């Protein structure tokens, strides 16, 4: 045992970091863009002798990682990200202004989005915006407008246009051309009123006359255009790498909506290299080298590499003098499109508009709601998401109560410890403590303390890191549904009801299927036992973040397998995520699939520890199969299954992955469960960490009450059972 | 009659297998032909191993096979987690099953409570904690966090298993002159091997599939765990689902192998043997 431990320690220690101080650069690129960045960085190293460490971070963890790593001095020196998150980063203190020279070849309009006040925080690397992809076999001529596309003569079953019609990022291009804005310059929600209604009506008309496919995701856009089933697509430069070689296509800047109208004006994203701040007193002293790297990447030499290798639309103007770039139709078209695009506002509220906009558009496009009414719900959602935090309160009362409670507790302990009987009991407990001490110490330090710290956040409010103490205001807000209808949209009680329904149904199905299969597999004479067992735990073995996405795909309206089966049986395709019942069923099917192997394995383990001689004795006594199950198997299974059931209930109650990845709360947040709702408040509805933490504490309290109750009922029913009634 | 019944059993199991297999086939089909959507029958019409080989054979500038190193890191973390979790949980579970002591009920409640609090809330405090003890960006830190997360469930699972073993077993050994520790190691532990196997597998899976903590704590590509590596194929604008699916298949192979290997611990009446002996 000791030897094994020593070996383990040795192996772990060998993974220690040892290298000294190269410049650290973080990015979230993949494919050709990553290769180009790598090449540009190597060129920089060759020219300056500096060493650069590149780290590709998963986009899903980018912000969380920057937020926790930079303040502790473990973050990057330089990181690459889109300009629209600038204000968030500046507010969180993650950035350091650029102080050195800025290359003249960088145009002022690409620098402007990177300024905040007087300070410039990064240098622009590449420009990204949407344009129109045309399949030149189907559309040899450039259409004059999107409506002209709808009139084009196309083969049966081909969509004239595919675009993400529920995504504010793309829809904004239409809105801008009609004089609207998603977010006004003052930070007010803008997706309502005449321009927004016209936008929504146009989209609804094009979806209903089959010009645009409904429920189009980014994946569907790529698939339909790549397979030639759509004649045109609205997308950004990121679509090109996924188009097959045989496809003939080109890009043009977005045309007007109707013939002779204003051209669409898509959002412009400026991807920039930012200099990360360094904690005070822990500066790395490499500011000059860091800025040199940023200047090189954004400057002409770096830009040439990024444009030729990575196919990026670089901001640097001199790089375009290179004849290879100047004559590249794809790059120059996107450059033209970018020059007409509108930089996305950097206001932190900008990101918070997308979800309400999507929700409003889905109401119009999926449920057929009148635009004005649906857009008003988006506006209400936004107002709710951005409501001002509760007022700051004096923490003294709480500290006082807490202090008194602590004193009382200590007093009570001292009082008890004086009791000789208790002292004796403690003395007798010492041998037992030797067996448990290490486990409780480890769990206390690494599990309980971090959770308590997390829970304490629920007493604070504010956005991001800008928190102030508000007492129990978050709880009051949640429990009174923020002054709204207690049984209305997004109310805590409704979400709780859905969560309970979710947990009960899941548990019944997990147990039913799991135990039944285990019993069948446990039949002594069954053949192919081994292969069956292994095949049946497959759902458990494949990571759930992948299979949940596979299930989501299977429930897709157009591409999904479930609808394909329904149609082959003569039914109508179902829009699974448009109604609560069907969306909930989709989540349930996924989670039952994920969860039954666990119950099956636990049951198999329990069955194998039931001694065979019990069955032999029963068989001698002439017991039937049912009697043996009823009298031997079931009573012996219950104690071993009980912990798995309690745990299973707790885990299902908090099963975030499935709800988040499969239905994503659709339609309109109605299939959200408590834990995913908490996540929404923390991450997609504007970083209300305190509010989300209060949700987490409430989840905890509910589960604690519930388990208390089950234990209580369990002991009562045990007591009531007549002695000797079992076995 | 008997044949019919046996056929019925196989039919039921086979339909369950079909239910279990279908989405997995979907993932396989996506991995083998990333450019066409899997249809109602998920079978690739034009299979290619490009995505798979791109994921597995990815090299860094020095020509190191990153995926292999990352698989190694993942295996190390997952096995160490299972080992440490079992090491911590087993004695505690035994004590909770066999001894009466002051604070027993309170500690059981506390253990259960840890499972009820959504874990995301603890990410930043954990980061600061690991940073303070110098284990950030270090596989050891990850093992510590995963193992302690897995301990409460492991304790519950094992306590149930110990409860199922008659006390006479070790009492007899102690009458024969064994100490409590010897009785535990030589008599009790061998009889709970199936439960130990299931619990270890579970701890292994906790570590093997976790993404967000690993992504936050680790900043060197050569020690990334596999979920972090896979997540990189899903970008802001563009997701390479084929690569993602191909990686997922590779990731599930060790779990399958482990389960197949653990099967012999799961079957067979070990307890019965103990009682007879």
pLDDT digits (tens, 9 = 90+) for A82-98: 998 898 888 888 999 99
If you search the block for the tokens 């149609």, which residue do you land on? A567
Residue A574: band (very low, low, confident or very high) from pLDDT cuts 50, 70, 90 = confident
pLDDT over threshold 80, residue A17: no
Q: A51, A57, A58: best mutation site toward chain B, by most B Cβ within 10 Å?
A: A58
pLDDT-wise least confident of A97-101, A201-205, A337-341, A682-686: A682-686
Which residue, among B2, B32, B116, would best test binding to A if mutated, counting the most A CBs under 10 Å from its CB?
B116
Interfacial B residues in 9-28 facing A (CB < 8 Å): 9, 12-13, 16-17, 19-24, 26-27
Is A628 inside a domain boundary?
Answer: yes
State whether residue B121 sits within 8 Å of chain A by CB: yes
Q: Are residues A180 and A91 in the same domain?
A: no
In this complex, is the C-beta atom of B160 within 8 Å of any C-beta atom belonging to chain A?
A: yes
- Residues 6 or more apart in contact with residue B223 via CB below 8 angstroms: A15, B69, B70, B73, B137, B139
For every residue of A359-382, DSSP letters joined together read HHHHHHHTT---HHHHHHHHHHHH
Say if A617 falls within a structural domain. yes
Confidence (pLDDT) at A85:
87
Residue A618 shares a structural domain with residue A662: yes
Considering the domain architecture, whether residues A544 and A677 belong to the same structural domain is answered as yes
Which H/E stretch holds residue B211? none
Q: Are residues A194 and A251 in the same domain?
A: yes
Q: Which helix (H) or strand (E) holds B115?
A: none
- Looking at the domain assignment, is residue A708 inside a domain? no
What are the structure tokens assigned to A441, written together?
């110490």
Residue at token pair 């008659």: B166
In a domain, A633, yes or no: yes
Closest to A330 in 3D by CA, of A240, A438, A449, A196: A240
- A556 and A604 fall within a common domain: yes
Q: Which residue has the higher pLDDT, A591 or B192?
A: A591
Report if residue A430 sits inside a domain.
yes
Residues A333 and A409 in one domain: no
- Under DSSP, the state recorded for B65 is B
The pLDDT of A151-175, averaged and rounded, is 91
Same domain (yes/no): A120, A183: no
Convert the pLDDT of each residue in B235-267 to its tens digit. 777 777 888 888 888 888 888 888 777 766 654
Q: How many other CB atoms are there within 10 angstroms of residue A239's CB atom? A: 22
Residue A231 shares a structural domain with residue A361: yes
pLDDT tens digits for range A53-68 = 999 888 878 888 888 8
Interface of B with A in 76-105 (CB under 8 A): 76, 80, 83-84, 88-89, 91-92, 94-96, 99-104
- Highest mean pLDDT (candidates A503-512, A518-527, B249-258): A503-512
Specify the pLDDT at position A435.
87
Contact A74 B95 (CB under 8 A): no
Residues A253 and A276 occupy one common structural domain = no
- Whether the CB of B268 is below 8 Å from some CB of chain A: the reply is yes
Number of domains in chain A: 4
User: In whole angstroms, what is the distance from residue B233 CA to residue B242 CA?
Assistant: 9
**Are B151 and A60 within 8 A, CB to CB?**
no
Nearest to B76 among A11, A425, A447 (CB): A11
For residues A215 and A315, membership in a common domain is answered with no
- pLDDT value for A27: 93
> A453 and B122 in contact by Cβ < 8 A?
yes
Q: Is the pLDDT of residue B271 over 70?
A: no
Least Cα separation, residue B200 to chain A (angstroms): 12
CB B88 within 8 A of CB A622: no
Q: What is the DSSP string of A453-495?
A: HHHHGGGEEEETTEEEE-TTHHHHHHHTGGGS-TTSTT-HHHH
A414 lies in the same domain as A539: no
Question: Tell me, what's the pLDDT at A313?
Answer: 94
Across A32-41, A612-621, B83-92, least confident range: A612-621
For residue A143, tell me if it sits in a domain. Answer: yes
Confidence at residue B274, expressed as pLDDT on a 0 to 100 scale: 30
Q: Nearest-CA distance from A291 to chain B in Å?
A: 22
* pLDDT class of B83 with cuts at 50, 70, 90: very high
Of A106-120, A160-174, A402-416, A481-495, the poorest mean pLDDT is in A481-495
Residues of A in contact with B263 (CB under 8 A): 530, 533-534
The model's pLDDT over A278-326, given as tens digits with 9 standing for 90+, comes to 888 777 778 889 999 999 999 999 999 999 999 999 999 999 988 888 8
pLDDT at position A724 is 35
User: Residue A74 and residue B17: Cβ atoms within 8 Å?
Assistant: no
Both tokens of A415, joined, read 């009082």
> What is the pLDDT at residue B270?
31
Give the pLDDT of residue B265.
Answer: 63
Residue A220: give its domain's CATH number.
Answer: 3.40.190.10
**Domains (ranges, CATH) in chain B?**
1-48 (no CATH), 55-276 (1.10.3720.10)
Share of chain A above pLDDT 70, in %: 94
| Mean predicted lDDT score pLDDT of chain A | 85
Which residues of chain B lie closer than 8 angstroms to A707, CB-CB? 112, 116
Tell me: the pLDDT tens digits for A221-238? 988 898 899 999 999 999
Report for A16-25, A544-553, B28-37, B216-225: range of highest mean pLDDT: B216-225
Averaged pLDDT for residues A106-123: 91
CA separation for the pair A210, A150 (Å, rounded): 9
pLDDT at A294: 95
Q: Report the range of poorest mean pLDDT among A490-494, A505-509, A707-711.
A: A707-711
- Tens-digit pLDDT profile for residues A358-374: 989 988 988 888 999 89
Mean pLDDT (whole number) for A235-261: 90
Q: Which residue has the higher pLDDT, A717 or A705?
A: A705
In sequence order, the 6+-apart residues with CB closer than 8 A to the CB of A361 are A165, A166, A168, A171, A200, A203, A374
Residue of A nearest to B252 (CA): A542
A–B: how many Cβ contacts below 8 A? 372
Residue A203 pLDDT grade (very low, low, confident, very high; cuts 50, 70, 90): very high
Residue B234 has pLDDT above 90, yes or no: no
Task: State whether A39 and A183 are in the same domain.
Answer: no
Predicted confidence band at A718 (pLDDT cuts at 50, 70, 90)?
Answer: low
Q: What is the pLDDT of residue A12?
A: 52
Q: Which domain holds residue A73?
A: 19-127+270-343
Residue A578: its pLDDT value, please? 82
pLDDT on residue A87:
86
pLDDT at A205: 92
pLDDT band at A554 (very low <50, low <70, confident <90, very high): confident
Chain B CB contacts of A715 under 8 Å are none
Pairwise pLDDT comparison (A718 vs A570), residue with the higher score: A570
Residue A727: inside a domain, yes or no? no
Q: Is residue A644 part of a domain?
A: yes
Strand residues in chain B grouped as ranges (E): none
Q: Could you tell me if A386 and A462 are in contact, meaning their C-beta atoms sit under 8 angstroms apart?
A: no
The shortest CB-CB distance from B252 to any of A60, A513, A543 is to A543
In the predicted model, is pLDDT for residue A543 greater than 70? yes
Cβ distance of B138 and A16 shorter than 8 Å: yes
pLDDT, average across residues A20-49: 90
ipTM above threshold 0.90: no
The two most distant CA atoms of chain B are separated, in Å, by 70
């Amino acid at each position: 045992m000791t030897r094994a431990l020593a070996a383990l320690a040795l192996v772990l220690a060998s993974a220690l970091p040892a290298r000294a101080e190269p410049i650290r650069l973080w990015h979230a690129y993949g494919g050709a863009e990553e290769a180009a960045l790598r090449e540009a960085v190597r060129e920089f190293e060759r020219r300056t002798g500096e060493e650069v460490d590149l780290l590709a971070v998963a986009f899903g963890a980018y912000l969380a990682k920057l937020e926790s790593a930079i303040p502790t001095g473990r973050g990057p020196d330089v990181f690459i990200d889109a300009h629209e998150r600038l204000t968030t980063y500046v507010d969180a203190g993650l950035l350091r202004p650029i102080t050195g020279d800025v290359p003249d070849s960088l145009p002022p309009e690409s620098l402007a989005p990177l300024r905040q006040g007087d300070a410039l925080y990064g240098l622009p690397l590449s420009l990204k915006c949407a344009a129109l992809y045309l399949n030149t076999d189907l559309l040899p001529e450039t259409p004059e407008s999107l409506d002209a596309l709808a009139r084009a003569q196309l083969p049966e079953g081909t969509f004239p246009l595919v675009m993400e019609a529920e995504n504010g990022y793309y829809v904004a291009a239409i809105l801008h051309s009609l004089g609207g804005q998603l977010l006004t310059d003052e930070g007010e929600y803008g997706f309502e009123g005449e321009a927004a209604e016209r936008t929504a009506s146009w989209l609804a008309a094009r979806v209903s006359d089959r010009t645009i496919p409904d429920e189009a995701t980014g994946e569907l856009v790529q698939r339909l255009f790549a397979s030639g089933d759509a004649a045109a697509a609205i997308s950004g430069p990121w679509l090109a790498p996924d188009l097959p070689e045989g496809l003939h296509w080109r890009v043009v800047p977005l045309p007007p909506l109707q013939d002779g109208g204003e051209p669409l004006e898509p959002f412009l994203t400026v991807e920039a290299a930012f200099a990360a701040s360094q904690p005070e007193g822990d500066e790395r002293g490499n500011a000059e080298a860091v800025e040199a790297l940023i200047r090189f990447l954004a400057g002409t030499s770096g830009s040439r590499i990024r444009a030729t290798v990575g196919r990026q639309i670089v901001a640097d103007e001199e790089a375009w003098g290179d004849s290879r770039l100047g004559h590249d139709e794809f790059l120059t078209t996107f450059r033209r499109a970018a020059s007409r695009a509108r930089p996305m506002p950097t206001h932190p509220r900008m990101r918070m508009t997308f979800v309400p906009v999507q929700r409003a558009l889905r109401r119009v496009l999926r449920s057929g709601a009148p635009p004005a009414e649906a857009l008003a719900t988006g506006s209400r959602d936004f107002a709710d998401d951005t409501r001002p935090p509760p007022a700051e309160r004096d923490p003294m009362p709480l500290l006082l109560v807490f202090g008194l409670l602590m004193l009382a507790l200590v007093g009570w302990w001292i009082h008890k410890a004086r009791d000789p009987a208790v002292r004796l009991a403690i003395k007798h407990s010492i041998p037992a403590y030797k067996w448990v001490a290490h486990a409780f110490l480890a769990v206390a330090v690494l599990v309980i303390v971090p959770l308590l710290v997390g829970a304490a956040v629920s007493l604070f409010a504010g956005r991001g890191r800008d928190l102030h103490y508000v007492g129990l205001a978050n709880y009051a807000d949640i429990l009174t549904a923020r002054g709204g209808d207690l049984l209305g949209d997004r109310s805590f009680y409704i979400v709780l009801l859905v969560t309970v329904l979710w947990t009960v149904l899941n548990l019944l199905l997990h147990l039913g299927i799991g135990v039944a299969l285990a019993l069948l597999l446990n039949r002594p004479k069954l053949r192919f036992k081994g292969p069956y067992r292994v095949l049946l735990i497959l759902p458990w073995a494949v990571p759930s973040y992948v299979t949940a996405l596979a299930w989501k795909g299977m429930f897709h309206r157009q591409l999904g397998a479930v609808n394909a089966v329904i149609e082959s049986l003569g039914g109508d395709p179902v829009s699974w995520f448009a109604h609560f019942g069907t969306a909930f069923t989709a989540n349930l099917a996924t989670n039952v699939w994920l969860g039954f192997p666990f119950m099956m394995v636990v049951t198999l383990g329990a069955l194998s520890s039931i001694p065979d001689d019990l069955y032999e004795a029963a068989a001698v006594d002439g017991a039937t199969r049912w009697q043996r199950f009823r009298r031997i198997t079931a009573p012996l299974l219950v104690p071993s299954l009980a912990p798995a059931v309690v745990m299973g209930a707790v885990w299902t109650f908090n099963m975030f992955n499935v709800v988040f990845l499969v239905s994503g709360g659709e339609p309109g947040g109605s299939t959200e469960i408590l834990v995913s709702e908490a996540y929404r408040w923390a991450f997609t509805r504007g970083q209300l960490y305190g509010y989300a933490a209060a949700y987490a504490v409430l989840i905890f309290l509910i589960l604690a009450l519930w388990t208390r109750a089950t234990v209580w009922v369990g002991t009562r029913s045990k007591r009531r059972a007549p002695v000797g009634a079992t076995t | 009659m008997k044949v019919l019944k046996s056929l019925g059993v196989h039919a039921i199991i086979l339909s369950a297998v079909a239910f279990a297999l279908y989405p997995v086939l979907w993932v396989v089909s996506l991995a083998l032909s990333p450019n066409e959507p899997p249809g109602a029958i998920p079978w690739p019409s034009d299979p290619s191993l490009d995505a798979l080989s791109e994921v597995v054979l990815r090299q860094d500038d020095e020509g190191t096979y990153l995926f292999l190193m990352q698989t190694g890191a993942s295996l190390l973390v997952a096995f160490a987690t299972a080992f440490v979790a079992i090491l911590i949980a087993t004695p505690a579970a035994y004590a909770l099953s066999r001894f009466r002591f002051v604070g027993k009920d309170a500690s059981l409640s506390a253990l259960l409570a840890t499972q009820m609090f959504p874990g995301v809330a603890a990410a930043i405090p954990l980061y600061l904690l690991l940073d303070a003890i110098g284990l950030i960006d270090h596989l050891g830190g990850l093992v510590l966090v995963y193992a302690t997360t897995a301990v409460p469930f492991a304790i519950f699972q094992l306590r149930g298993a110990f409860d199922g073993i008659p006390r006479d077993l070790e009492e007899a050994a102690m009458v024969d002159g064994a100490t409590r520790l010897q009785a535990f190691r030589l008599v009790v532990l061998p009889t709970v091997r199936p439960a130990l196997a299931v619990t270890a597998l579970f701890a292994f899976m906790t570590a093997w599939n976790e993404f967000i903590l690993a992504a936050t704590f680790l900043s060197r590509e050569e020690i990334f765990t596999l979920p972090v590596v896979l997540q990189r194929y899903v970008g802001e604008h563009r997701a390479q689902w084929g690569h993602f699916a191909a990686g997922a298949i590779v990731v599930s192979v060790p779990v399958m192998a482990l389960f197949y290997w653990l099967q012999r611990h799961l079957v067979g009446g070990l307890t019965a043997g103990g009682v007879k002996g």
